[in-house]
Amino acid sequence: MTKIKNTTNIDSYNDLYSTMEHDHEYPNINLVRLEKWHLKSPGFVLDHGCGYGENLIFLTKKGYKVHGVEINKELIKWIDLKCRIKQVPSNQYSLELAASDNKIAQDDETFDHVISLGVLEMLGDKAAATLYINELTRVLKPGGKMIISTLHPENSFVVQSKKIAEEKFSFSGKEMDKEVQLQYELYIPKDANSFSKIFPKSCKVDEIGSWNNVYCNVNGKHYCALITKK
């Protein structure tokens, strides 16, 4: 059965999160722009795969109420600590450890907006990615906005991976400045058109955009899908 949690990838992330040495200090600059240019109106946001929590904290400062989901218990504690240090009001955020293997815990149409940055590739294959997108769409209200970013085929992470099937790659090694040995299975859409097709009919794909940074031996290219639920 297709699952939205990929055990191999989660083991690698648990290793990565065994210390918080790779913590981020600032939100993703593209999210900072897309909050103004795509989300536009504060409401209840699901940040699925909220990482080190900086995007979540940024959105609370902009007046959103944010529910963050992550796969590692220590990371959840860490984000909670950061939120308290940065004086995010406790009624403006909540955190949840991703539990279910194939469902997002919330009811249908719970959120005004959904963001998922750098998670989709980690679903490991197209079937799981599709299931995941369906779940994110399910919990989004009609008219709600969604931002999904995922690795572009030109990203150095993909270039260093081995293609094992159509739109499926395997990565084994170390990532950039990190010392942890990682093992990932990756879903990588072959182009923007293929990426746009994993969204269900209830989604209007406003745009498949991208961002990129190419320097110091890294190519950080990502696709970003900007979606409005019909």
| 224 near other proteins, rule: CB under 8 A | yes
| 32 near other proteins, rule: CB under 8 A | yes
Contact region for other proteins (CB under 8 A) — 73-81, 119-127, 137-145, 207-215? 207-215
Q: Considering the complex, state which of residue 7 and residue 212 has its C-beta at the smaller distance from other proteins.
A: 212
Among 1, 36, 89, 90, binds other proteins (CB under 8 A): 36
CB 129 within 8 A of CB 198: yes
Q: Exposure of 104 by Cβ count < 10 A (0-12 exposed, 13-18 middle, 19+ buried)?
A: buried
The C-alpha atoms of residue 133 and residue 113 are separated, in whole angstroms, by 13
Q: Considering the complex, state which of residue 25 and residue 179 has its C-beta at the smaller distance from other proteins.
A: 25
The C-alpha atoms of residue 60 and residue 65 are separated, in whole angstroms, by 6
Q: Considering the complex, state which of residue 92 and residue 210 has its C-beta at the smaller distance from other proteins.
A: 210
Torsion sign over Cα 50, 195, 181, 183 = positive
- Closest separation in Å from C-beta 150 to other proteins: 14
| 25 near other proteins, rule: CB under 8 A | yes
Q: Considering the complex, state which of residue 67 and residue 221 has its C-beta at the smaller distance from other proteins.
A: 221
- Closest separation in Å from C-beta 134 to other proteins: 24
| 216 near other proteins, rule: CB under 8 A | yes
Interaction pattern, residues 165-184, with other proteins; x per rule: CB under 8 A:
------------x-------
The C-alpha atoms of residue 230 and residue 203 are separated, in whole angstroms, by 6
Among 9, 16, 35, 38, binds other proteins (CB under 8 A): 38
Write phi, then psi, for 184 (nearest 5 degrees).
-130, 145
Q: How many residues bind other proteins (CB under 8 A)?
A: 25
| 210 near other proteins, rule: CB under 8 A | yes
Write phi, then psi, for 77 (nearest 5 degrees).
-60, -40
Give the CA-trace dihedral at 193, 194, 200, 202, to 10 degrees. Answer: -10
Give the CA-trace dihedral at 51, 101, 184, 153, to 10 degrees. Answer: -80
Task: Write out the residues near other proteins by the rule CB under 8 A.
Answer: 25-30, 32-34, 36-38, 61, 177, 207, 209-216, 224, 226
